[in-house]
Amino acid sequence: MAQTPDLPELEMAFAKDPAGSTFVPLTQAYLAQGRFMEAMVVCKKGIKSHPDNVEGRLLLARVYGEQGKVPKALEELRALLALHPNVAAAHYQVGLMLDKSGKTDDAVESFKEALRKDRNLAEATAALKAKGIDWSPGPSPEEIAAAEAARQAVEERVRAEE
């Protein structure tokens, strides 16, 4: 099993190649230690080099949220969703930020949207359950299509037997 690099190794790798992809694990390490300013600086530099990095943008929004900068976090998440509307984790984080803002109904809707995008996003399910809501997005488009195909196959078989 590969061992996770420690903080000094990550810092060294980022210093040697700030345009590389080390910014994600370094930002995560800083977040884990509550070093929000360093996390924000590293993440912003990384995103500048990798503007389409979804994980980096999610991390930056998380950094803002941890700092209590909810409007900034929401701005980052909404910009991400404008480009990548199917990122369930972004919808979930929007829900967290709205919940922090006291906008419970909007937060619940964001958690539901996260589950519509990824039915297995346990964090969104847990967030809804914490609010006393047991909710499922219903059948997936694939399940609906499979059921329709099965129904049509049965109808065709019945017609063939007549």
Q: What is the mean pLDDT of residues 32-49?
A: 91
pLDDT at 123 over 90: yes
Q: What is the pLDDT of residue 138?
A: 81
Q: Which residue has the higher pLDDT, 71 or 21?
A: 71
Judged by average pLDDT, the poorest of 27-36, 102-111, 138-147 is: 138-147
Q: What is the mean pLDDT of residues 115-130?
A: 93
How open is the CA angle 110-107-75, to the nearest 5 degrees?
75
Q: What is the pLDDT of residue 1?
A: 38
> 95 and 124 in contact (C-beta within 8 Å)?
yes
Two tokens, residue 26:
């370094």
4: confidence class by pLDDT, cuts 50, 70, 90: low
5: confidence class by pLDDT, cuts 50, 70, 90: low
H/E stretch holding 100 reads: helix 88-100
Alpha-carbon gap, residue 125 to 96, rounded angstroms: 12
pLDDT at 126 over 90: yes
147: confidence class by pLDDT, cuts 50, 70, 90: confident
